[in-house]
A and B are shown apart, each in its own frame.
Chain A
Amino acid sequence: MIRLDPRLLAARERLSHIKLVVPVMSSKGGVGKTVIAGTLALLLTKNNVETGLLDLDFTNPGLHILLGADIRSWPEEEKGVVPPKIYGVRFMTAAYYSGDEPLPLRGRYVDEVFKEILCITRWPGVEVLVIDTPPGIRDEALNILTYIPSPKPLIVGTSCPLAVHSVEKLIKVLRESNHEIIGLVENMADQPGPLRRLSEKYGIDYLGNIPYIKDLDTAIGSPDKLVELLSPYLARVIEKIRTIIS
């Protein structure tokens, strides 16, 4: 008999009605995953797609700050927990429970939090679940690829050689495990650069570049402003996701 964690059986059930799970991934830190994940969820909602948003960066959650969400209002309990809607997006984060305190976690505890949150969280009506992930190819990323059925990652990077090398390693891991990659976004780049060449090398859709936006910090906590600043650059990502779920 194969031993399974009971929580994983429930987690699969909770996600079974969701048409598409999009982890926003990069093995390099500081490339803009959180901003892109959060804004992507807001834009999908504006495009009439019922969207959920999950912050898997347990030790350094930032999505609630990005969205200006009040984490003192916990998810409603209804045979599990149902994340509240923030600007129309069902938003779940461990920060509801850790508050403003630090949450230092070794790997095995990251694994436990992952299973616990996926087991207890229900996503009523959600069609697309966007997941913000921490950098690296460690517990959170591996858990997504191993335990979530058919995730289709969106890869984010910058033109910096360190990021390009790092992203290529992530692509290799995703390819080896037969995961379909939705596409690649080159952030903080005034024009298409090395990530477009990388996408051509691996046959991945290049879904555009986002220039460095000087005023971006002023939009943190203001979803309307995030949408205004980033919507032109995420249009192709939205279009591709809408095509997949239709």
Chain B
Amino acid sequence: MVHEWALADALARYIVYRISGEGKKNVKRVIIRLGVLQSIDKEILGFALKEILESMGYQVKQIDFEDEEPVLKCRKCGYEWKPNMNVFGETIREAIHFVPETIFSYYKCPHCGSRDFDIVKGRGIDVTLIEVE
């Protein structure tokens, strides 16, 4: 059982937290923004989210995912780039999957070699829309 379940659990609790005041149990549509940096398995995440919401007494009809490609920007030289995650081996991709900030352990600015860069976007998971009926 992969750790997408833990993230789905967090999303389910958040969705319930957001709509519990409305007294409605049917969720028509949810949009989830997924930072690609973390390489989340959408199929497992969507399945787990539905299962967990059902166990909490809520039904969800449609889950849509919006990918957000990662962009990094070096604080030292200002270079901005889109990282190619395929340059890493499976172990490092897995590490970033669990804790995305471990990218600072394995990645440097391709222009100046600094580890002091920002993750401008493409990290994490967020619920951007909840429609209830």
Contact = CB atoms under 8 A, between A and B. Distances in A.
Contacts of A65: none
B13 A6 contact: yes
Interface residues of B, number: 32
Question: Which range holds the interface residue count of chain A?
Answer: 20 to 34
A135 to B, nearest CB: 20
Nearest to A122: B6
B115 interface: yes
Interface in B115-133: 115-116, 118-119, 123-127
B95 A99 contact: yes
A101 B3 contact: no
A117 B9 contact: no
Contacts, number: 92
Q: In this complex, which of A7, A11, A117 has the most chain B Cβ atoms within 10 angstroms of its Cβ?
A: A7
A155 B3 CA distance: 34
Interface in A47-64: 58
A103 B14 contact: no
Contacts of B118: 106
Given A6-B10, A97-B102, 14 more contacts: A9-B10, A9-B17, A10-B7, A77-B2, A79-B6, A80-B5, A80-B9, A94-B102, A97-B98, A98-B95, A98-B102, A112-B124, A119-B10, A120-B6
